[in-house]
Amino acid sequence: MIIDTHTHVVSSDKNQHPLHPDATGWSTQVSNDVEDLIREMDQAGVECATLVQPNGTYGLDNSYQCDSALRYAPRTVSVGILDPAASDAADKLSYWVNERAMKGVRLQSQAEPDDPRCDALWQRAEALGIPISIGGGGQPDKVNRMRAIGGRHPNVLFAPDHFAGWSGADDKAAMTVALEELAALPNAYLRISSTSLGPYAGLNDAEKDMFRRVIEAFTPRRVMWGSNFPSSREGGYIGQVTLGKTALPWLSGEDVDWIMGGSAATLWPMLQAPSQG
């Protein structure tokens, strides 16, 4: 079963679902209604998806992701955004999980990942059984800080978004070491998306070796594919799916199966493929 762990839905109805006043970037020009995403998934052979709140699009209002996921559950689940350093972050998480059926939380904050103010949300995530996605990265120190808070909460499954920003990092060697050390935590997973898979072919041999070291440190059983559609949309949705399957030619078929869905099923076992016919 293929599970896309990083899709975004943005309503074309800006009256019912207005963008945040500070929204910028792709979502101010491109919509992706959930109905359109489901059609794209059907055409590409993708059974399930997590609907991830786009950064900045709706601010911290996760309503459209949650409502959309419930509409197509158990094929879809929602992953909303919260600021983990906010004083009410833990209670906000309880609200979105208990009242709006959110199944994961994406952390976006100006605070450092291991800021002590963030611990309350991690504790609540453990109590609720909710996995955590961490935005940001791109610097070894950021990854080390993710490792620090993940180590403090060993019962919470968590994953940096977008290969933790490895592809855009100035010091890929140091990032590789930091991610290898992060992989030593059994509760640490890694999400890999088109932002890393697309540039892979242009890496030199040494960089490709470091990329592979990171995958092997986590093992494919703790690496999850996400399309990042429609933020990443070259070749359309089906092009992103094809990229996920083929970008790393050294993976075995079993490895690809884990990355394209098996690992995600560990975090979201409630996901189910649509019935045929």
The residue behind tokens 């899709």 is 7
Q: What is the pLDDT of residue 25?
A: 87
CB 47 within 8 A of CB 2: yes
Q: Tell me: the pLDDT tens digits for 225-269?
A: 999 999 998 899 999 999 999 999 999 999 999 999 999 999 999
Max Cα separation, the chain?
51
User: Domain limits of the chain?
Assistant: 3-267
Q: Could you give the CA distance from residue 221 to residue 189 in angstroms, rounded to a whole number?
A: 9
Mean pLDDT of the chain: 96
Token digits of residue 266: 């560990």
Q: What is the pLDDT of residue 277?
A: 54
User: Sheet of 104-107: strands edge to edge?
Assistant: 3-7, 48-52, 76-82, 104-107, 132-134, 158-160
Extended beta strands in the chain, E state: 3-7, 48-52, 76-82, 104-107, 132-134, 158-160, 190-193, 223-226
Token digits of residue 74: 């158990």
Q: Tell me: the pLDDT tens digits for 31-43?
A: 899 999 999 999 9
Segment 89-99 shows an average pLDDT of 98
- Tell whether the model's pLDDT for residue 120 goes beyond 80: yes
Architecture of the structural domain at 3-267: Alpha-Beta Barrel (3.20)
- Tell whether the model's pLDDT for residue 144 goes beyond 60: yes
The residue behind tokens 């094929």 is 75
3-state secondary structure of 124: helix
DSSP character at residue 273: P
CB 181 within 8 A of CB 192: no
3-state secondary structure of 190: strand
Q: What is the pTM of this model?
A: 0.95
- Tell whether the model's pLDDT for residue 55 goes beyond 90: no
Q: Could you give the CA distance from residue 113 to residue 107 in angstroms, rounded to a whole number?
A: 9
Q: Tell me: the pLDDT tens digits for 126-137?
A: 999 999 999 878
Q: Tell me: the pLDDT tens digits for 170-208?
A: 999 999 999 999 999 999 999 999 999 999 999 999 999
